[in-house]
Amino acid sequence: MSMMDLSKTYEKIARTIASDLQSFIGVHMVKTDFDFEAMKSAAARKNPNTGEGTLRIRSGNLFRSFSPNRKDAQNILEIESTREGMQLRYGSKIPYAAIHEFGGTAGRNGSAVIPARPYFFPAIAEWKAKKLDSTLSKAKQEIILGVKEWLANQQQSNQ
């Protein structure tokens, strides 16, 4: 008898969750034309779509770093088996990801004060509120299908 390997099923579930989360993250970022000269005035920092302080997408690198399908080293998508079950680590390795989420100082001698412009944790909270139950239901279905497929393969190999 062989062991059942659900790693591909878990990976599929993790990629589905990450894809869903990326769409929620995108909702919390507003794409606008970025004008460095205009940014010098306080009025230009106001985002007409959602108010002052909203993170803007300039190059798209931060948003794309949350893609579960990226082959580069900019994203974090790891699945780990623990005693309690499966653990998913998801995020971005872009250096400025955290400063936009939490705020802080940057530049020489900390001369630039970056306000917190949360996009990640609000997206997680919204995803949990709107999609967690359906995602867990789909995940259970995927696992059940994986178990059924494994059982069918076991029955065929025993005949």
The dihedral built from the CA positions of residue 25, 100, 15 and 71, taken in this order, carries a sign that is: positive
Average pLDDT of span 71-89: 84
Per-residue confidence (pLDDT) for residue 91, from 0 to 100: 93
Task: Flag whether pLDDT at 41 surpasses 60.
Answer: no
Q: Which two tokens stand for residue 13?
A: 């579930």
Mean pLDDT of the chain: 80
- For residue 40, give the amino acid letter: K
Express each pLDDT in 112-127 by its tens digit.
888 888 889 999 999 9
Express each pLDDT in 62-75 by its tens digit.
999 999 887 777 99
Highest-confidence range of 10-19, 36-45, 91-100, 107-116, by mean pLDDT?
A: 91-100
CA neighbours within 13 Å on the CB side: how many for 102?
A: 8
Report field, pTM of the whole predicted structure over 0.95: no
pLDDT confidence band for 4 (50 / 70 / 90): low
Task: Give CA separation, 3 vs 6, 78, 84, 145, in Å.
Answer: 10, 22, 19, 16
